Amino acid sequence: MTRVVVDREVCMSAGVCEVEAPEVFELDTAGRLQVGQPTDLTAVETAVRACPTGALSLVED
Amino acid sequence: MSSPTLDLDTVDLSDRSFWGAPPEQRHAVYDQLRRERPFAFFAEPVIPYIEPGPGYHAVTRYADVEAISCRPALFSSGAGAVSIADMPPDLNEFYGSLISMDDPRHGKIRRIVAKAFTPRVLEKLVGNVQAVADDVVTRARRTAEDGDGTIDVVADLAAPIPLRVICDMMGIPDGDRALVLRQSNVILSGGDPELVEDEEQMVTAFLKAGEELAGLMARLAAERHAHPADDLTTALVTTEVDGERLTHQEIASFFILLLVAGNETTRNAISQGVLALSEHPGERARWAADPGLTRTAVEEIVRWTSPISWMRRTATQDVELSGQSFPAGSKFLLFYGAANRDPAVFADPHRFDLSRDPNPHVGFGSRGPHFCLGAHLARREIGVAFRAFADQLPDLEVIGPPARLESSFVNGLKRLPARLTGVR
């Protein structure tokens, strides 16, 4: 199964992923990134690539 | 723009007048630098009372801008990102904000306000942005009707929209907003003689502008401590980082950064977007007829205008870039407007194409921790503003050349004369 890993040290809560794949990524009210289970993999891959800080990666379990 | 070859030895990016010239000239220089001298070296501009540093490399290729931007450990912002000279300590008091900080401190402070700039939070703000834009447009029409039918696109349309939105977000009272506009104009004037009359007094003018805004911050901070509100100023004065409140200096410089950055950048994207649309009537008509174009049109306006011309990075150790070696301490200015016209990335880069897609421009900065905090806000403001102009100001007509800001840092307009042909 594919899942998204967030490097919390690197994430700046820029919210670019949330624009690309709002069903999967959401910055909560504290500005912390919450990640759901990827459904539309294409959108998630776009979001991972678009992250300005390179905080996101996809891993296969 | 395959323009005739220039003598690059006569070009000086540190000369303020270079930046007041029409953008075609700048882009011809960028194109040639990118091809022939992608790390061209320039002496630092002379600023009275500031010790000039060793000079800087102008980075004009997209790939190099990205390579520097995405390696913050090698290319630091901490020695100053928004000035070519290292910031003297007294100016640092007001301008040494997180934009000139490295991680981990940068990240910790940035996250205090990041939650107010997320796409979902800003979605709720759209109604407010729309109301502001509608009101600004209505007032502009009244100005034209009460006068001779003319308006200034900068003062009457482009400046008030982002000013009111960021002041609302920060909880700045109406009575203080003129002061915010005046002082942020000075801070980002780049020493333009119209805004800083006496060049000898440039540093004093920057200090005074910082003091004025810091004074406003101190007054608001005291109020918010007593009566917390749902605004950014409250977040700044009440949040703790590593169990500690931000220092007075950190709050002041962050407050100034948010106000100034929230104002000047979007203003210049809007004013120069209006100019670009007047120069490309076909694109203007296409967007007016098709609101679905807004997403890509906004990105193209940011690419085309690149409102912030550069940010600086400083090598923390000996580094290599595209096969060239640079010693530790080398300064690099990342010229976003040059990267945004790099033919290696953008097909037909000097074509203004509102449906350009993909459009991986670096108008909000390139990859890395300093990517523009306000990018989502700016996109919404620009999108809402231009839809309002298309719907409510179809008779807007630019009638003269703009007055350009003589600043290397901000690609800005001071004035852009226009008229509303429907008025008379």
| DSSP per residue, B283-301 | HHHHHHH-GGGHHHHHHHH
A8 touches chain B (CB under 8 A): no
Question: Which residues in chain A touch residue B235, judged by CB atoms under 8 angstroms apart?
Answer: none
Answer yes or no: is B138 within a domain.
yes
Does residue B3 sit within a domain? no
User: Residue B197: what pLDDT?
Assistant: 85
Average pLDDT over residues B142-156: 97
Hunting for tokens 């003297």 — which residue is that? B88
A22 inside 8 A of chain B by CB: yes
Compute the nearest-CA separation of A3 from chain B (Å).
23
pLDDT for the residue numbered B93? 74
- Classify residue B12: in a domain, yes or no: yes
* pLDDT over 90, % of chain B: 77
Domain hosting A16: range is 2-60
Angle at B324 between CA B321 and CA B330, to 5 degrees: 70
Q: Which of B70, B121, B371 sits opposite A14 (nearest CB)?
A: B371
Chain A residues in contact with B375 (beta carbon < 8 A): 14, 16
Window B:104-123, CB contacts with A under 8 Å: 104, 107, 110-111, 114-115, 117-121
CB-nearest partner of B115 from A16, A22, A30: A30
Average pLDDT over residues B58-82: 96
**CATH number for B85:** 1.10.630.10
pLDDT of amino acid A15: 93
CATH label of the domain that carries residue A55? 3.30.70.20
Where does the pLDDT of residue B91 fall: very low under 50, low under 70, confident under 90, or very high at 90 and above? confident
CB contacts of B104 in chain A (<8 Å) are 9
Cβ proximity of B280 and B24 under 8 Å: no
Q: Can you tell me the mean pLDDT for B119-137?
A: 92
Alpha helices in B37-114 (DSSP H): 62-69, 89-95, 105-114
Note whether residue B2 is domain-resident. Answer: no
Question: Is A29's CB within 8 Å of B107's CB?
Answer: no
Mean pLDDT of B284-293: 98
Residue B2's pLDDT band, with cuts at 50, 70 and 90, is low
Distance from CA of B376 to the nearest CA of A (A): 8
**Are B110 and A12 in contact (CB < 8 Å)?**
yes
B424: pLDDT confidence band, cut at 50, 70 and 90? low
The interface residues of chain B toward chain A in range 356-385, judged by CB-CB distance below 8 A, are 365-369, 371, 373, 375-376
Structural domains counted in chain B: 1
Instruction: Indicate whether B106 belongs to any domain.
Output: yes
Quick: pLDDT tens for B8-33: 999 999 999 999 999 999 999 999 99
Q: Nearest-CA distance from A33 to chain B in Å?
A: 10
Q: Among B227-241, B276-290, B361-375, which stretch is predicted with the lowest mean pLDDT?
A: B227-241
Chain A: nearest CA to B111, how far in angstroms? Answer: 7
Question: Per-residue confidence at B314, pLDDT binned at 50, 70, 90?
Answer: very high
Angle between helices B177-187 and B160-170 (to 10 degrees): 110
| pLDDT tens digits for range A21-31 | 999 999 998 88
**Buried/exposed B243-253: b ≥16 CB within 10 Å, e otherwise:** eeebeeebbbb
Domain, as residue range, for B327: 8-420
Q: What is the pLDDT of residue A31?
A: 86
From chain B, pick out residues whose CB is under 8 angstroms from the CB of A26.
120
Q: What is the pLDDT of residues B184-226, one digit of tens each?
A: 999 988 889 899 888 888 889 999 999 999 999 999 999 999 9
Task: Say whether A15 and B115 touch across the interface (CB within 8 A).
Answer: no
Q: Residue B1 domain-assigned? A: no
Dist CA B64 CA B59 (whole Å): 7
Average model confidence (pLDDT) for chain B? 93
Confidence of residue B394 (pLDDT cuts 50, 70, 90): very high
Distance from CA of A54 to the nearest CA of B (A): 8
Per-residue pLDDT, B171: 93
Count CB-CB contacts under 10 A for residue B172.
Answer: 23
What's the pLDDT tens digit per position in B377-387?
999 999 999 99
Interfacial A residues in 23-52 facing B (CB < 8 Å):
26-31, 52
The pLDDT of residue B37 is above 70: yes
Indicate the number of domains in chain A.
1
